[in-house]
Structure 1
Amino acid sequence: MNLDRGVLAIAGGVVLLSVVLTVGVSAWWLLLTAFVGLNLLQSSITGFCPAAIVLQRFGVRSGCAFTTEERSAVR
């Protein structure tokens, strides 16, 4: 697994968990889904992703979207 797939897996898992909690507990859990969506949107614009930083610290190798190097060096 690379960093990109890890971030997407975490985001998808949290969204699914939020849906289950919304159905079973309270509609307020939809705020978690909104938070995940906003985080994905801002990371696509800024390139900063907290989940990617955490996964890097656990030794997950970089993918092409969430690298810490300059984009010109990737090409």
Structure 2
Amino acid sequence: MKLHAALRLFAGSMLLLSLALTYWVHPNWVFFSIFIGLNLIQSAFTCWCPAIAMLKKLGLKE
């Protein structure tokens, strides 16, 4: 799997996980969803994403 496909898979999975936690565990988990959204927005402007650094360390190639 390529790096950017893995990044989209990771971001989507984390968002669905946070929404499930919000629904089934506690409403305050919605702040995790907000964090994920804000991180995606800031990465669009700064071209830096912590998840890409992590995925590169796991050996994914661009």
Task: Give TM-score scaled by structure 1 length.
Answer: 0.78
Show the counterpart of 1:65. none
Show the counterpart of 1:39. 39
Show the counterpart of 2:22. 22
- Higher Cα Rg, which structure: 1
1:1-52: CA deviation from partner (whole Å, max 9, x where unpaired): 1111111111111110111111111110011110010001011110001000
Q: Give the share of equivalent positions with the same residue, in percent.
A: 39
Q: Which has the higher helix share?
A: 2
Runs of 4 or more above 6 Å deviation: none
Partner of 2:43: helix, strand, or coil?
helix
Give the AA of the match of 1:24: W
Distance 1:6 1:36 in 2: 16
Give the AA of the match of 1:47: C
Query: What is the RMSD of the two structures over their aligned residues, measured on CA atoms?
Result: 0.7
Note the residue ranges of structure 2 that are not aligned, 5 or more in a row. none
How many residues are matched? 62
